[in-house]
Amino acid sequence: MLKLDFNRIQAPLFEVIKEANDNILFGLRLMDEIKTLPGLNLDQLSKDFQASGIRIQVGQPIQDLNEQKRTFRTWLLKKGFEDLAKAFNLCAIEAYHLFQLYKLNGQTILLQELEEEIKRIKKDALSQNNFPSLLDDKLPTANMTYKEPVKSMNRVRNCLVHRNGVVTEEKDINDKANKVLRLSYYSLQTVRIDENGKETDRLENTGIGLMAKPKDKLFQIGERIELSESEFRGCLFTCQTFGIELTEVIKKNCP
C-alpha cells in the first residue's frame, strides 16, 4: 500500500510566502515613508563601469518621486506575484501527482512497473503545467473557496510580467461583463462575534474575533496594477490558505 505525504502539496508556498512577507511587504511599506529621491552620481557610475572594462551608456534617472515610486512598486509586485504564481502552480502539480498515485492503491504491480508509472505521472503532471486548466479539469476542486481568487492572482501575475502591469482588454480581462481585471482575495479582519462564534452587529454580550473576509480590487483597461501593503498581505494570506485547502481536498479524495 502506498503511503502518500500530502503535506508536500503546500510545501512550495511556505518559503515563498515568508520571503514575500519579509521583502515585498517591506518594500511596499517603504513607499509610504520615502519623501525625497535619493541622489545618483552618474559620472562616478560611468567611471566604475569603465574601470571594470564594461562600456555602458547610463541614462538619466527618473526625476519625479511619484513616477519612481510607481516604477518601484510595479517591480516589487511583479517579483512578488511571479514567485507566488510559481509556488501555487507547483502546489497544483504536486496535488495532481499525488492524486494520480493514489489510483495505484490496491493494485498488484511489479516494482519496475511502479517506477515506470510514477515517471509517467510526473511527466503528465508537468505537461499539464497550465495552472487554471490543471486546477479546473484535472483535480477535484469544484467546491474550493480559494480557487477563483488564486486564479485571479495568476491573471494579475501575467499582466505584471508580460505587460508591465498595464491592463489590456485582449489578454487580461476576467470580468467580461464589467470589462475589468478583477483581483479577488481574502483579508483577515476583526469582527464582533456572538456566543456561537458567528459575526454579529450586536454590541452587548459579544466578543472580538478574526474572520477571513472576501475582497475585490478592479482594474480598468489601460490602468496600471497597483496594490497597497495591506492588499498584498491579503493575497499572501489567500495563497497560504489555498495551499491548506487544496491539501485537505486531495486528502479527502484519497481516503
Mean pLDDT of 32-39: 73
pLDDT exceeds cutoff 60 at 53: no
Element of type H or E holding 202: none
Q: What is the mean pLDDT of residues 210-220?
A: 94
Name the grid cell of 29.
511599506
Contact 21, 15 (CB under 8 A): no
User: CA–CA distance from 62 to each of 45, 70, 135 (Å)?
Assistant: 16, 11, 42
* Per-residue DSSP letter, 224: B
The CA–CA distances, whole Å, from 199 to 21, 101, 241 equal 28, 41, 20
Cα–Cα distance measured from residue 241 to residue 212, given in angstroms and rounded to the nearest whole number: 10
What SS3 class is residue 9? Answer: coil
Query: Would 97 be classed as within a structural domain?
Result: yes
Residue 49 CB burial class (10 angstroms; 0-12, 13-18, ≥19): middle
Render pLDDT for 78-116 as a digit per residue (tens, 0 to 9).
999 999 999 998 899 889 888 888 877 766 666 676 677
Q: What's the pLDDT score for residue 36? A: 75
Q: Is residue 91 part of a domain?
A: yes
Q: Is residue 168 part of a domain?
A: yes
183 in any annotated domain: yes
Residue 245 lies in a domain: yes
48 located within any domain: no
Q: Residue 238 — pLDDT band, cuts 50, 70, 90?
A: very high
Pure H helices in 20-64: 25-31, 42-51
Residue spans of alpha helices (H) in the chain: 11-19, 25-31, 42-51, 65-102, 111-127, 131-137, 147-163, 229-253
> Residue 207 above 90 pLDDT?
no
- Is 50 part of any domain? no
More confident residue, 213 or 120: 213
Q: Encode pLDDT of 150-198 as tens digits.
A: 999 999 999 999 999 999 999 999 999 999 999 999 998 888 888 777 8
Is 43 part of a structural domain of the chain? Answer: no
Q: Estimate to the nearest angstrom the gap between the alpha carbon of 161 and the chain centroid.
A: 13
Q: Which domain holds residue 121?
A: 6-33+62-253
Please tell me the total count of domains within the chain.
Answer: 1
- pLDDT value, residue 49: 54
